[in-house]
Amino acid sequence: GPVAETFRVIRGAVTEEYVRSTQGVFQFELSGDGGGTWYIDLKSKGGGAGFGKPPVAADVVMSMSSADFVKMFT
């Protein structure tokens, strides 16, 4: 779905430079289609993004609809 596709694109865009400059972990609590817990890790070596809880504690937790999440990133 659109949420999974958005995270696939984000995962492909994560670089060591983004990780070095950001040093943050973002957790998204999404409601609606494709909802659930998702994360973007811009703190751990190599970074990452995907479904589930982040591998380290989140610095920021955002709750929104999956539709708003997709709009925010497109």
Digit-coded pLDDT (tens) for 8-24: 999 999 999 999 999 99
pLDDT tens digit string along 32-58? 999 999 999 999 999 999 999 999 999
Identify the band that residue 1 occupies on the pLDDT scale cut at 50, 70 and 90: very high
Q: Domains along the chain?
A: 2-72 (3.30.1050.10)
CA distance 31 to 26: 16
**Long-range Cβ contacts of 42-48 (<8 Å, 24+ apart):** 42/14, 42/18, 43/19, 44/19, 45/16, 45/19, 46/14, 46/16, 46/19, 47/14, 47/15, 47/16, 47/18, 47/19, 48/11, 48/14
